Amino acid sequence: MRMVRMAAALAGMMLVPSVAFAQANGSPGAERDSWYWGINGGAMMFSAGYDQDVKVTAPSVGGEWFITRPRFALRVSVQQAFFDKQASVYDPTVSGAARPVDVKDWRRYAVEVYAMPSGNSFLTPYAGMGVALNVIQNASPVGSFVSEESLEEVFTTVDEFSTRASLVVAAGAQASFGRSALFVQANAMPTRNAFLLNRSAYTIGLEAGVRYSFGSAVEKF
């Protein structure tokens, strides 16, 4: 079931931004058309914890595919954050009805569409939104179980809450140096409900990295 949900979420992630990006293809000023690959590092900031809030700043690394058009850009990325904390799920068979769960590492797949100022300046700000698929890489319930049924119910809940699709709002800026570019950006995702790491209303991400253009994003005849 988890793989089915992930596949459906990824299909939805690709659909909406692709339509918006296709509509942008006819805009003027095609001198900005570029096809970049990039790498980045940064941090994801959120609250975890079993019985109280624990503020986490998890280091992250990632890769991306970044396509620019005259006034729009499309970004497809994957980000991995590294941490080792504890969360909880509902379990009426334990004290406080909260079963502790060891959680480790967070992978995020995202598709975002950005609006960019027209022209071809050295420093280009951008802002936009998209969707992300958040996947906890390791989640293990802690403690003993009173029955096989209780064990299965808890593991099913952990499995369901280990994956969540979320809206992403992001903004950043890119400085171009020939085919290369340096960039910084920040993003925010609502992560309060139906997710193991649900002690934060929002998860904040910060990224900085380098992109390199491998050619034009437009087929020329």
Query: In CATH, what number is assigned to the domain containing residue 58?
Result: 2.40.160.20
Burial class (CB in 10 A: 0-12, 13-18, 19+), 167: exposed
Burial class (CB in 10 A: 0-12, 13-18, 19+), 80: middle
pLDDT, position 119: 65
Evaluate whether 84 touches 106 at the Cβ level (below 8 Å): no
CA separation (Å) from 162 to 63, 128, 149, 179?
A: 22, 26, 20, 39
Range of the domain at 132: 2-22+33-213
Q: Which two tokens stand for residue 104?
A: 């480790």
Q: Is residue 218 part of a domain?
A: no
Angstrom distance (rounded) from CA 44 to CA 30: 35
Which residues are paired to 102 by β-bridges? 86, 140
Q: Is residue 94 part of a domain?
A: yes
pLDDT digits (tens, 9 = 90+) for 15-27: 444 434 444 443 3
Residue type, 31: E
Angstrom distance (rounded) from CA 74 to CA 112: 6
Q: Is residue 13 part of a domain?
A: yes
Angstrom distance (rounded) from CA 148 to CA 125: 55
Q: Is residue 221 part of a domain?
A: no
Q: Is residue 62 part of a domain?
A: yes
Q: Is residue 68 part of a domain?
A: yes
Provide Rg for the chain, Cα atoms.
20
Q: Is residue 27 part of a domain?
A: no
Comparing CA positions, the residue from 133, 136, 142 lying closest to residue 78 is 133
Q: Is residue 185 part of a domain?
A: yes
pLDDT, position 70: 85
Q: How many domains does the chain have?
A: 1
Instruction: Return the number of other C-beta atoms located less than 10 Å from residue 21's C-beta.
Output: 17
pLDDT < 70 regions, the chain: 1-31, 119-120, 217-221
Tokens 């690959």, residue?
37
